[in-house]
Chain A
Amino acid sequence: MASYNTNEFRSGLKLMIDGDPCAIVENEFVKPGKGQAFNRVKIRNLKTGRVIDRTYKSGESVEAADVMDTEMQYLYNDGEFWYFMDPDSYEQIGADVNAVGENTKWLKEQDTYTVTLWNGSPLTITPPNFVLLTVTETDPGVRGDTSGGGGKPATMETGAVVRVPLFINEGELLKVDTRTCEYVGRAKEED
Chain B
Amino acid sequence: MASLDILKKRAALLRQVRAFFYARDILEVDTPALSSTGNTDPNIESFTTSYIGPGKNKTLYLHTSPEFSMKRLLADNSGSIYQLCKVFRNGEFGRQHSPEFTMLEWYHLDYDHHQLMDEVALLLDEVLEQTMPIVKLTYQQAFTDYAGIDPLNINLVALKRCAEKHGLVDVIGMEDASTDDWCDLIMDQVVVPKLGQGRVFIYDYPASQAALSKISEDDPRVAERFELFIDGVEIANGFHELTNAKEQRQRFENENIKRKRKGQSPLPIDENLLSALATGLPDCAGVAVGVDRLLMLIAGADSISTVLSASSVD
Q: Which residue numbers of A lie inside 8 Å of B, CB to CB?
A: 7, 28-38, 40, 52-60, 62
List, in ascending order, chain B residues with CB within 8 A of A31's CB. Answer: 43, 92, 94, 97
List, in ascending order, chain A residues with CB within 8 A of B173's CB. Answer: 56-57, 59-60
In the docked arrangement, what's the CA distance between A55 and B171, Å?
Answer: 5
In the docked arrangement, what's the CA distance between A57 and B174, Å?
Answer: 7
In the docked arrangement, what's the CA distance between A35 and B185, Å?
Answer: 9
- Closest residue of B by beta carbon distance from A7: B91
The A-B contact count (CB < 8 A) is 79
Picked from A29, A34, A38, A59, the residue with its CB within 8 Å of the CB of B93 is A29
- 8 intermolecular pairs with C-beta atoms under 8 Å apart: A33-B290, A34-B209, A35-B209, A38-B185, A40-B189, A55-B172, A56-B173, A58-B91
A57–B177 contact, CB under 8 A?
Answer: yes
Task: Tell me if B41 is interfacial: C-beta within 8 Å of chain A.
Answer: yes
- Closest residue of A by beta carbon distance from B192: A32
- Distance (whole angstroms) from the CB of A191 to the closest CB of chain B: 38
Task: Tell me if B270 is interfacial: C-beta within 8 Å of chain A.
Answer: no
- Closest residue of B by beta carbon distance from A62: B172
List, in ascending order, chain B residues with CB within 8 A of A30's CB. Answer: 94, 96, 188-189
Residues from 151 to 184 in B contacting A, C-beta threshold 8 Å? 167-168, 170-174, 177, 180-181, 184
In the docked arrangement, what's the CA distance between A29 and B184, Å?
Answer: 14
List, in ascending order, chain A residues with CB within 8 A of B181's CB. Answer: 35-36, 57
- Distance (whole angstroms) from the CB of A13 to the closest CB of chain B: 15
Rank and list the top 10 A-B pairs by shortest CB-CB distance, nearest first: A29-B94, A57-B173, A35-B184, A60-B173, A36-B184, A36-B181, A56-B172, A55-B171, A54-B170, A33-B237
- Closest residue of B by beta carbon distance from A56: B172
Picked from A28, A35, A52, A54, the residue with its CB within 8 Å of the CB of B94 is A28
Chain B 191-235 interface 0/1 with A at a Cβ cutoff of 8 Å (1 = within): 000000000000000000101000000000000000100000010
Known: A34-B211, A38-B188. A57 touches B234 (CB 8 A): no
Picked from B41, B97, B172, the residue with its CB within 8 Å of the CB of A60 is B172
List, in ascending order, chain B residues with CB within 8 A of A56's CB. Answer: 171-173
In the docked arrangement, what's the CA distance between A38 and B186, Å?
Answer: 11
List, in ascending order, chain A residues with CB within 8 A of B188's CB. Answer: 30, 32, 35, 38
- Distance (whole angstroms) from the CB of A133 to the closest CB of chain B: 40
- Closest residue of A by beta carbon distance from B188: A30
- Closest residue of A by beta carbon distance from B182: A36
- Closest residue of B by beta carbon distance from A34: B211
Q: Specify which of A28, A55, A58 lies most central, judged by the most chain B CB atoms within 10 Å of its CB.
A: A55
In the docked arrangement, what's the CA distance between A24 and B288, Å?
Answer: 34
- Closest residue of B by beta carbon distance from A59: B173
- Distance (whole angstroms) from the CB of B255 to the closest CB of chain A: 11
In the docked arrangement, what's the CA distance between A31 and B41, Å?
Answer: 14
In the docked arrangement, what's the CA distance between A82 and B125, Å?
Answer: 66
- Distance (whole angstroms) from the CB of A59 to the closest CB of chain B: 7
Chain B 129-145 interface 0/1 with A at a Cβ cutoff of 8 Å (1 = within): 00000000000000000
Task: Tell me if B187 is interfacial: C-beta within 8 Å of chain A.
Answer: yes
> With contacts A29-B92, A34-B237 known, what are 15 further pairs, Cβ within 8 A?
A28-B94, A29-B93, A30-B94, A30-B189, A35-B188, A35-B209, A53-B167, A54-B170, A55-B172, A56-B172, A57-B177, A57-B181, A59-B173, A60-B172, A62-B172
